[in-house]
Structure 1
Amino acid sequence: MTQIPYGGKYDYLLWIKLIMIFSSIPVAVIGFRKQRKMLAALSLLMITGSFGLGEIYHKKKGIAKDPETKTESHEVAATDGKSLYEANCVLCHGSDGKLGMAGAKDLGTTLLDQAGIKEIIVHGKGAMPAAPVNDEQAMAIAEYVNSQIKGH
């Protein structure tokens, strides 16, 4: 949801936040210079409260602070082995399984069966880390490697 963050019925929260921040600075200076703990505490409370007001402002306006980012493996259908392979394996193994970057094995000559390939995808082995996929996705990748890359 994209909205212009300023303008509307919740702008008073933004103004209160700005006033609290700018007034807390001189209150803190006076409090620390004159050794008045109450003023220093008030300044700290004002700064903390202004952060809370900012959160309330964003919630009421419906502004997403950090838009959700999806990794490539979550965007791909769980059973699409080729897309999952391209999203998670191509960098080291290459599109044909023979690239061998960073010690990656040649998938075209592997002696592993589908279950063995799945286990390595899920748990990793040697220099290869575990892939960020679930068991169903790992099986889809293993099926793709077995049918399209292995022996070709």
Structure 2
Amino acid sequence: MTTAFLHTHVLVVVLFLILFLVKAFLLFFNKHDTLNKARSSTKMLDIVFGTLILVTGGYLAFSYYGPLPSWLLIKVVLVLAAIPLSIVGLKRHNKLLAAVGVLIFGYVYGIAETKSLKIRADKGEAVVVSPNGEVGTASSDPEKASHPILTKLEGTQLENTKAIYTALCANCHGEDGQKGTSGAVNLQLSTLNVEGRRNVISNGRGLMPGFGSQLSEQEIELLALYSTLLKK
């Protein structure tokens, strides 16, 4: 369900931005008559897209595991401000408001891509997954190389993934992966690679249910990586 809402949210946001940028282009180049016609013909679409953005975004925020990170909270606030601001700017043919809307949407996109208010991804070595699913890093630092997944899972992202593991997995696997309730595999001894763990988390195995309908693809990926940290 979460994955469906995520895909819907992204699609609606893209469509809304395309319509907005086209109309902003008409405004900036003083095509007022064409802009009025475009606004009239897409008025209902604007309402539908704006509503869907709020509904799907609200659902995703509500379904987020753990405390919402600051970048996500700021993103939500900016989107809530940018949508009406942009609509008013186009309605009144106000180039300044429309330009501010464009800048806010651009900034929000940068935040979403980097998960940082500075629009700069956290520094760290890239995690490399080999063809057989083994995880490694390009770092030459032996200390970091000994725990390469921590480069991928750090800060709030690590806390959120721990929260997901605690909520969905710890009851059977235990906090350390060794509990073994209801036939759960000992994650410290499991020989499954990352890809195999992703498949099990998504589709389930034996008495374990699949969580593909509850978690996004990124959450499944991070949970699979996190589970490998429990290996001896």
- Structure showing greater Rg: 1
The two structures have a TM-score, normalised by structure 2, of 0.32
